[in-house]
């Protein structure tokens, strides 16, 4: 049996660990609520924007008797895939990153990566995979940071350095459930397929947009509107996926820290019971020794 001193030292270490993990749990919980509000609040806008864009492209082609052309819509033969890997900057979030990395294609495929998060960069470096750039993100994920990432990925796509843009990220489902996904953003014609899959994942019904027979006057021109809308929907979808990933990260970290706190408290209770048993055994031995000495003295 361990000595009192060893048990008390371990009890003190476990109690200190529980205090640390509880504090980290509270911090993650505070950040989680804010991240969840941003992610859930932006879902309807992001999904509806993609649906409206898809519908406008169809109407534009039907009314103008010609297909609308834009570099981000043109489908090409894929020689090199481009994947934006959205991971976390810190650890202590359970198996979130490991589950995300399992969605990536095999290392022998022709893929170039853009890392959004330090853990993703470390993973790609350890596997010696092609890394085009790294974009660190703060907890708030301001839109100007997403714009820089989106513009870099778009320019690489337009230069022909990569032939598609996909996003490997984690979607927030609820506090205890986060799902890794690999969604294609460019060519943009595949975007609505990704939105449909995301709706199924989140169990959200697709509300059909009502028919509107009215004529709409567009300024300056329909072509200028569509050119700007295509760029906008690409940035907005990427921004929303980053918000989802941040909400999933904070939820996973809060759950992981709560589990660590519960485990530390359980170990503390076990050690306390072990300490009491050892103390009781020591007291019993002392009583026996005193009684034995008294009998011998008589």
Q: What is the per-residue pLDDT across 218-273, written as a single tens digit (0 to 9) for each?
A: 677 777 777 778 888 888 888 888 998 999 999 999 999 999 898 988 888 888 88
One DSSP character per residue, the chain reads ---HHHHHHHHHHHHHHHHHHHHHHHHHHHHHHHHHHHHHHHHHHHHHHHHHHHHHHHHHHHHHTS----TTT-----SSEEEEEE--SS--STTHHHHHHTTSPPTTS-EEEEEESHHHHHHHHHTT--EEEE----TT--HHHHHHHHHHHHHHHHTTS-SEEEEEEEEEEETTEEEEEEEEEESGGGHHHHHHHHHHHHT---PPPPP--S----SS-HHHHHHHHHHHHHHHHHHHHHHHHHHHHHHHHHHHHHHHHHHHHHHHHHHHHHHHHHHHHHHHHHHHHHHHHHHHH-
Token pair of 204, please?
């959200």
Predicted confidence at residue 197, as pLDDT, reads: 63
The C-alpha angle 187, 161, 185, rounded to 5 degrees, equals 25
Residue 166, beta-bridge partner list: 83, 184
Token pair of 263, please?
């485990």
pLDDT tens per residue across span 63-99: 666 666 777 777 788 888 999 999 998 888 888 999 9
C-alpha of 288 from chain center: 62
> What are the φ and ψ backbone dihedral angles of 186, each rounded to 5 degrees?
-125, 135
Q: What is the pTM of this model?
A: 0.81
Q: What is the percent of the chain with per-residue pLDDT over 90, rounded to a whole number?
A: 10
Residue with tokens 């033969």: 77
C-alpha of 294 from chain center: 71
Predicted confidence at residue 86, as pLDDT, reads: 92
pLDDT at 274 over 60: yes
Token pair of 242, please?
């980053």
Residue 168's pLDDT band (cuts 50, 70, 90): very high
User: CB-based contacts of 249: which residues, under 8 Å, 6+ apart?
Assistant: 35, 88, 93, 96, 170
Token pair of 255, please?
């759950």
Structure-model confidence comparison of residues 111 and 56, the more confident one? 111
Structure-model confidence comparison of residues 155 and 49, the more confident one? 155
Could you tell me the domains of the chain? 4-24+256-292 (1.10.287.80), 34-207+216-253 (3.40.1380.10)
Greatest alpha-carbon pair distance for the chain in Å reads 119
Predicted confidence at residue 190, as pLDDT, reads: 62
Q: Mean pLDDT, to the nearest integer, of 126-132?
A: 89
pLDDT at 290 over 60: yes
pLDDT at 199 over 70: no
d(CA 16, CA 28): 19
Predicted confidence at residue 227, as pLDDT, reads: 78
d(CA 173, CA 179): 7
Which of 97, 127, 109, 98 shows the shortest CA–CA distance to 164?
Answer: 109
Predicted confidence at residue 84, as pLDDT, reads: 93
């Amino acid at each position: 049996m361990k000595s009192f001193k060893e048990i008390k030292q371990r009890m003190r270490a476990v109690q200190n660990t529980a205090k640390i993990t509880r504090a980290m749990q509270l911090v993650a919980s505070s950040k989680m609520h804010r991240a969840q509000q941003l992610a859930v609040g932006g879902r309807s806008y992001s999904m509806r924007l993609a649906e409206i864009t898809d519908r406008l492209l169809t109407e534009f082609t039907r009314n103008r008797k010609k297909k609308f052309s834009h570099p981000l819509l043109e489908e090409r033969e894929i020689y090199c895939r481009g994947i934006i890997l959205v991971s976390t900057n810190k650890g202590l979030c359970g198996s979130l990153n490991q589950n995300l990395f399992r969605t990536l294609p095999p290392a022998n495929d022709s893929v170039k990566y853009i890392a959004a998060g330090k853990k993703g960069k470390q993973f790609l470096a350890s596997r010696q995979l092609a890394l085009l750039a790294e974009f660190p993100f703060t907890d708030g994920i301001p839109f100007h940071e997403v714009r820089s990432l989106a513009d870099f990925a778009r320019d690489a796509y337009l230069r022909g350095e990569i032939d598609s843009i996909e996003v490997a990220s984690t979607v927030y489902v609820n506090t205890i459930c986060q799902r890794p996904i690999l969604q294609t953003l460019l060519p943009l014609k595949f975007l609505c397929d990704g939105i449909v899959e995301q709706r199924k994942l989140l169990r959200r019904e697709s509300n059909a947009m009502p028919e509107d027979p009215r004529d709409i006057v567009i300024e300056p021109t329909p072509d200028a509107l569509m050119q700007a809308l295509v760029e906008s929907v690409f940035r907005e979808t990427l921004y929303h996926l980053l918000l989802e990933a941040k909400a999933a990260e904070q939820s996973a970290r809060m759950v992981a820290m709560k589990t660590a706190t519960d485990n530390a408290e359980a170990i503390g209770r076990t050690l306390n019971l072990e300490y009491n048993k050892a103390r009781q055994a020591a007291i019993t031995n002392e009583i026996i020794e005193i009684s034995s000495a008294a009998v011998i003295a008589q």
